[in-house]
Amino acid sequence: MDEAVGTTLSRFIADEQMKHPGATGEFSNLLVELITCARLISREVNKAGLVEILGLTGHRNVQGEEVMKLDRFANETMIRTMSHTGYLCMMASEENADPIPIPAEYPKGKYVLCFDPLDGSSNIDANAPIGTIFSVLQRRSAGDDGDPEDLLQPGRDQVGAGYFLYGSSTLMVYTTGSGVHIFTLDPSVGMFLLSRADVRIPESGKYYSVNEGNTAYWEPGVWKYVDYLKSATGERPPYSTRYIGSLVADFHRTLCYGGIFAYPEDHRSPGKPKGKLRLLYEASPLALICEVAGGRASTGRGRILDVVPEEIHQRVPLFIGSKREVEWAEKFIAGEMQPPTAGLSAPPPP
Ligand code: AHG
Ligand code: MN
Ligand code: MN
């Protein structure tokens, strides 16, 4: 076992800074503030089940919108905690229509933060894993206050990105470009301890993760690609399907086991294909993690990290995971790859 396992975050960051003298402590301090948010959110997420069972809020059973209040709690925790750190000059949250400036009374810093405070929230009352996703960019604008334009940078310019996963244990996964590292929260001491350093995603996998309820809305290349994965070929058995419906959980499994997660475009309105996942605080941060871990993250027609956002809630199609499976997706979409025989996954006619 790697002797670094069990290292505290501050020790690990200090070691990393020795290895990368250019790294300033500011990103690390930002990470420590994000951990404070994660610990507060994780505590409330764990109580949600309790509230439902014990009706502590006075409700006979907590309806979805009651559990959904966790979205608001997570968002307010992130905004309140991160506003006064002095490291940021502007924020963007999935829950806020507009960019979030840093209040005048607080010092401004050189970073901007984009975040999804609670990802997969529709799964909370099913006790399925959910998470928080964050992306950090360096400001481009001069002056004291940040500018909303600082948020509209391509993902390749992120200085760091990561997510917290509130599951059977609470994990933090992050990268600053040199390695992807996984920390696990030890609740007995309230500290995140290193569980895996320099994670590499497998070159290929045996799982595909996509909501097949949307098959009718996909373009033909995507349908043929998924059909190909579901079919046995001379070299391999069919892929197995896994789909939780929480992006962070589905991505984390893909990072650990390999394969692909996809949320293709919806082609219902002709000429206006629509992705579901958001670029700034879902696709870009996970794309950075995936690429640093040796994988690939694509819109199906190009690198996620090269997409220049036009607005903070821009949606994109997402194909992310092991290089082999994502490259296949791109080839099927481009019409450069066809299944060996059509309709492989359909059982042979009687
Ligand atoms: P959020 O809870 O932040 O709105 O994100 C939900 C997203 C993502 O977590 C997941 O991959 C996707 O929605 C699932 O969408 P479907 O239910 O359409 O499959
Ligand atoms: Mn989300
Ligand atoms: Mn969300």
Q: Tell me, what's the pLDDT at 136?
A: 97
SS3 state of residue 131: strand
Q: Which atom of ligand 1 is nearest to the CA of 211?
A: 19
Question: Residue 117 Cα, ligand 2 centroid: separation in angstroms?
Answer: 8
Q: Identify the residue with better confidence: 330 or 273.
A: 330
> For the residues 204-208, what does the mean pLDDT come to?
97
pLDDT digits (tens, 9 = 90+) for 35-53: 999 999 998 887 765 554 3
Q: Does residue 20 have a pLDDT over 90?
A: no
> For the residues 180-193, what does the mean pLDDT come to?
92
Q: Does residue 149 have a pLDDT over 50?
A: yes
Contact, 179 vs 23, CB < 8 A? Answer: no
Rounded (10°) angle between helices 323-333 and 220-229: 140
Q: Which residues sit with Cβ closer than 5 angstroms to ligand 2, an ion?
A: 116, 119
Query: Of 318, 303, 309, which is closest to residue 114 (Cα–Cα)?
Result: 309
Q: Tell me, what's the pLDDT at 166?
A: 95
Q: Tell me, what's the pLDDT at 341?
A: 65
User: In testing the pocket of ligand 1, which one of 247, 253, 265, 277 has its CB within 8 Å of the most ligand atoms?
Assistant: 247
Contact, 336 vs 327, CB < 8 A? Answer: no
Q: Tell me, what's the pLDDT at 51?
A: 53
Q: Does residue 23 have a pLDDT over 60?
A: yes
Q: Tell me, what's the pLDDT at 2?
A: 60
Contact, 226 vs 209, CB < 8 A? Answer: no
Q: What is the pTM of this model?
A: 0.92
Q: Tell me, what's the pLDDT at 342?
A: 54
The one-letter amino acid code at 151 reads L
Q: Does residue 19 have a pLDDT over 90?
A: no
Verify whether ligand 1 is closer than 6 Å to residue 151 (CB atom).
no
Q: Which atom of ligand 1 is nearest to the CA of 120?
A: 2
